[in-house]
A and B are shown apart, each in its own frame.
Chain A
Amino acid sequence: MAPRLDEAGLIRAVQNGDHDAFEQLVRAYDQGVLRLALNLLRSPEDARDAYQEAFLRVFRSIHTFRFDCNFHTWLYRIVTNVCLDQLRKRKVWKEESPVVETEDGVMNRLENTEERSAHANPERALLSSELGARLQGALQGLTPRERMVFELRHYQGMRLRNIGEVLGTSEEAAKNCLFRATQKMRNSLGEFV
């Protein structure tokens, strides 16, 4: 096999119109990108659209990349913008009401959860399937930015300083955002632990 080019070499090759180099560059990053989109959008179709749109934007604008920042940061700026746009458009962050109407009448999901006592084993309590739905609900209760910061920190393992750079804000703002996100999740789920 031909020797693998370094990242800067690949980027320059893409800037010179090399589609194979672009494919190599995509493959270096796209698993994380797809995972982020799947986590945020919770739909394979939407994740596929976000993946396509993000990398097409990268392809169209890579000639403007001047190596003045990390390529990973530059790429994730694009990816997070695409995902945030989708989240905002589809309003999927709207908080689920704990009260739902069922065939048996109005039900409060919080009151119907097993092992909700603070004295119960917290691990077991969190493993209940109903709580799985509450976890999803808690994520949907976050604003798009809070959701994004949490996703990037928790699932992608990105440092808050880097998250700030990606989202065009300060590390301090990213910290505050993460704090708000975890507080909301704590409030949604605190009764189970």
Chain B
Amino acid sequence: MNCDELTRTIPLYLYSELSFDEEEQVERHLESCAACRAEVERNKVILKAFDRVEAPADDSLLAECRQELMRAIHHEAARKRTVAGSSKPSFWQSIVAFWISFGNIRVPVGIAAALVVGFLAGRIVFFGPRQAPPSEPLVSTIRSLEPDASGRVHIALDETRRRTVSGRLNDPGIQQLLLAAARDEVDPGIRFESLDILKDHAASSEVRSALVRALQQDPNPGVRLKALEGLKRFSGDESIRKSLVGVLQTDDNAGVRVQAIDLLMQQRDQSMVGVFQGLMRKENNNYVRMRVANALEEMNASAGVF
């Protein structure tokens, strides 16, 4: 190996990317060539120096990225469901789609939309589509700008405007809006409020699914507790019980776990003995352990570890 050949292999040598034989050749050459040894040292110092300009890890940015991503994933799944429901979206579906996509708007230039659910007698009242005067608040995202030869500029933008929708709770449109609010709104207060309204309508399988979804996925424990409240009447349902067991095993909030135990105990079921005994082995919270032990005692089962 001559000096030119060695120069080409220096980065591979320093990154340990050479085969055993190639590395042997390099080291034999270096033993007898001071100039190449110095060159290897220079390269080593340069590469080491690049460690200094590595972008530092940013935990808060990572947390934001994760949150935004999961929100986008849920939006996308919700959009797919909406599209799958009908090839031509209805007025209500359009509003729901708007509501879902609201969280994605990155450059708000106006104010947020609002939802008001009223219990007015009669039919749904809403303001139909109309041209917004320039003073009306808008929420927009500029998508593209294109000047033409005549001096005009073509601006493509997504635009939404505030609309107040009122209606009875049994109206499917209102219900869809509430379900969308329970699912996608960034504000946990809105999710809580919508679940609070929906919980009395958990006889509907769609509402029940929303409650289960909130119970399993909502990051806010207050919202999860509200979902549990809505599911209280259905604690005998097999799929709900399965979700409750999942909550017991995975939810990081002790209050939510305790509520889940209470719901499971509304209908005593011997198959829960194994679940509770398993929980005794891994539950760290003393209060939750006590509640599990009580539950086992009520079922005449041992709390001991087998």
| A interface with B by C-beta (< 8 Å) | 1-2, 17, 19-20, 22-23, 26-27, 30-31, 34-35, 38-39, 42, 44, 47-48, 51-52, 55-56, 59-60, 122-123, 126-127, 131-132, 135-136, 139, 153-155, 159-160, 175, 178-179, 181-182, 185-186, 189-190, 193
How far is it, in angstroms, between the C-alpha of A117 and the C-alpha of B10 when the chains are bound? 23
* 16 examples of A-B residue contacts, CB within 8 angstroms: A2-B250, A17-B77, A22-B73, A31-B62, A48-B61, A56-B69, A59-B73, A122-B42, A126-B45, A127-B52, A136-B53, A160-B17, A175-B12, A178-B11, A186-B46, A193-B45
How far is it, in angstroms, between the C-alpha of A89 and the C-alpha of B46 when the chains are bound? 29
Chain A residues within an 8 Å CB radius of B250: 1-2
Q: 13 other contacts beyond A48-B64, A160-B12, A185-B50, with CB at 8 A cut-off?
A: A17-B77, A19-B77, A23-B70, A34-B62, A51-B65, A52-B69, A122-B42, A160-B15, A160-B17, A175-B12, A179-B12, A186-B42, A193-B45
Nearest B residue to A135, CB-CB: B53
Secondary structure call for the B interface: helix
Are A1 and B65 neighbours in the complex by a CB distance under 8 Å?
no
Chain B residues within an 8 Å CB radius of A19: 70, 73-74, 77, 217
Nearest B residue to A31, CB-CB: B62
> How many residue-residue contacts, CB under 8 A, span A and B?
114
Q: Does B274 contact A (CB under 8 A)?
A: no
How far is it, in angstroms, between the C-alpha of A175 and the C-alpha of B12 when the chains are bound? 7
Q: Does B93 contact A (CB under 8 A)?
A: no
Are A175 and B61 neighbours in the complex by a CB distance under 8 Å?
no
Are B70 and A59 neighbours in the complex by a CB distance under 8 Å?
no
Are A186 and B53 neighbours in the complex by a CB distance under 8 Å?
no
Secondary structure call for the A interface: helix
Q: How far is the CB of B222 from chain A (nearest CB, A)?
A: 20
How far is it, in angstroms, between the C-alpha of A62 and the C-alpha of B158 when the chains are bound? 29
Are A30 and B66 neighbours in the complex by a CB distance under 8 Å?
yes
Q: What size tier do the contact residues of chain B reach?
A: 35 or more
Are A38 and B58 neighbours in the complex by a CB distance under 8 Å?
yes
Q: Which of B65-114 contact A (CB under 8 A)?
A: 65-66, 68-70, 72-74, 76-77
Chain A residues within an 8 Å CB radius of B48: 126
Q: Does B154 contact A (CB under 8 A)?
A: no
Chain A residues within an 8 Å CB radius of B52: 126-127, 132, 135
Chain B residues within an 8 Å CB radius of A153: 15
Chain B residues within an 8 Å CB radius of A155: 54
How far is it, in angstroms, between the C-alpha of A39 and the C-alpha of B46 when the chains are bound? 17
Give which listed residue, A20, A34, A122, A136, contacts B61 with CB less than 8 A: A34
Q: Which of B1-50 contact A (CB under 8 A)?
A: 8, 10-12, 15, 17, 41-43, 45-50
Are B77 and A182 neighbours in the complex by a CB distance under 8 Å?
no
Are A48 and B11 neighbours in the complex by a CB distance under 8 Å?
no
Are A31 and B57 neighbours in the complex by a CB distance under 8 Å?
yes
Given the known interface contacts A154-B50, A182-B11, the answer about A44 and B73 at a Cβ–Cβ threshold of 8 Å is no
Q: Does B246 contact A (CB under 8 A)?
A: yes
Chain B residues within an 8 Å CB radius of A160: 12, 15, 17
Are B64 and A193 neighbours in the complex by a CB distance under 8 Å?
no
